[in-house]
Amino acid sequence: MPDLPHAKRLRAGRYSQTSQIYLLTAVTHQREPAFANWRVGRLVVDQFRQAQTEEWADTLDWVVMPDHFHWLVELQNCTLPALMLATKSRSARMVNASLKRKGPLWQRGFHDRAIRREENLQAVARYIVANPLRAGLARRVHEYPLWDAKWL
């Protein structure tokens, strides 16, 4: 999928602030459903955990959908671009090796949204984990294998 005309404008204003909570989204190249198999999706989850281990971000909530992920994090010792570059490149290597495929796994760039103090953080988290329900992949959240929330 080609870069969207506004993508450069989104990146131009990006600001990384330690202790800020962000909702991060990345989409697979050409919306390939690479994570339709939950075992492959767990390779992305491993990278969320690696970011936590390296103290780059505190993971609050996430869901991996067949062709994208949503990741709610509190940024720690890293910038948003560095966090997403590491997560996407590491997961691409793991997924490509697992599926014996070559080529890009992810679309260029990512979307981020800083969560304002006055927003209800748990409401944002519920919205994220309810993604599989809205997409018709499960009838109840617990039926879907690729999500987690710090509050559970």
Question: 12-26, 35-49, 130-144: which range is least confident on average?
Answer: 12-26
The answer to whether residue 146 is domain-embedded is no
The answer to whether residue 74 is domain-embedded is yes
pLDDT tens digits for range 33-69: 999 999 999 999 999 999 999 999 999 999 999 999 9
Print the domain residue range for 89: 9-129
Nearest to 119 by CA among 60, 58, 55, 45: 60
The answer to whether residue 2 is domain-embedded is no
Q: Which two tokens stand for residue 54?
A: 């390296």
The answer to whether residue 118 is domain-embedded is yes
**How confident is the model at residue 13, as a pLDDT?**
60
The answer to whether residue 76 is domain-embedded is yes
C-alpha–C-alpha distance, residues 40 and 4, integer Å? 27
Task: Look up the pTM and report it.
Answer: 0.89
**For residue 148, which amino acid is it?**
D
> Domain count of the chain?
1
CA distances 126 to 60, 72, 116, 141, Å, are: 11, 11, 16, 10
* pLDDT surpasses 50 at 1: no
C-alpha–C-alpha distance, residues 119 and 78, integer Å? 23
The answer to whether residue 21 is domain-embedded is yes
The answer to whether residue 62 is domain-embedded is yes
The answer to whether residue 112 is domain-embedded is yes
- CATH classification at residue 53: 3.30.70.1290
Answer yes or no: are the C-beta atoms of 36 and 144 closer than 8 Å: no
